[in-house]
Amino acid sequence: MPGAVYVYNLFNEPARLSLNGGLALSPSGADASRLATMGDAASGYRPSFTEVGSAVHNDQDTGLFYRGGTGVNDLKIQWDSGTGSTATFLMPTLAENVSVDDDLLCYITTQFAIVLNTKGSVLKNNSLDFAIAMR
């Protein structure tokens, strides 16, 4: 079974995450698209995370991180205020000595999405196209 990607929302408000044309899904297939931000004045800011599944084949990647072949993904994140980012997002692949079975961490900001392994090594640093929705 492909490893999970633990996605952290570093922006200070909740968001919705889409991957490859569908809402992000957990490894069990449940909706994992809601990225909350936990914390309050008493406990301070603590970014939250959600567990998102991975796909080895690009015909099975709707709502999942594609980690086979070239590792190219279409990512869209929309924060509650209307701020959003889109990107062609690259995941590390077997060609870069990263197994699809490895769990990964992904930190999402308004400008970057940084992918790390569970040992803390940065594997990819993706630029996001930041946009503010006009309301």
pLDDT in tens, 73-94: 999 988 888 888 888 889 999 8
Best CA proximity match to 103, nearest among 95, 115, 114, 113: 115
Q: For residue 76, give Cα distances in angstroms to 28, 64, 108, 109.
A: 21, 12, 11, 12
Confidence grade of residue 24 (pLDDT, cut at 50, 70, 90): very high
Q: Where are the domains of the chain?
A: 5-132
Q: Residue 34: CB partners within 8 Å, gap ≥ 6?
A: 14, 15, 16, 17, 50
CA atoms of 116 and 16, how far apart (whole Å) = 21
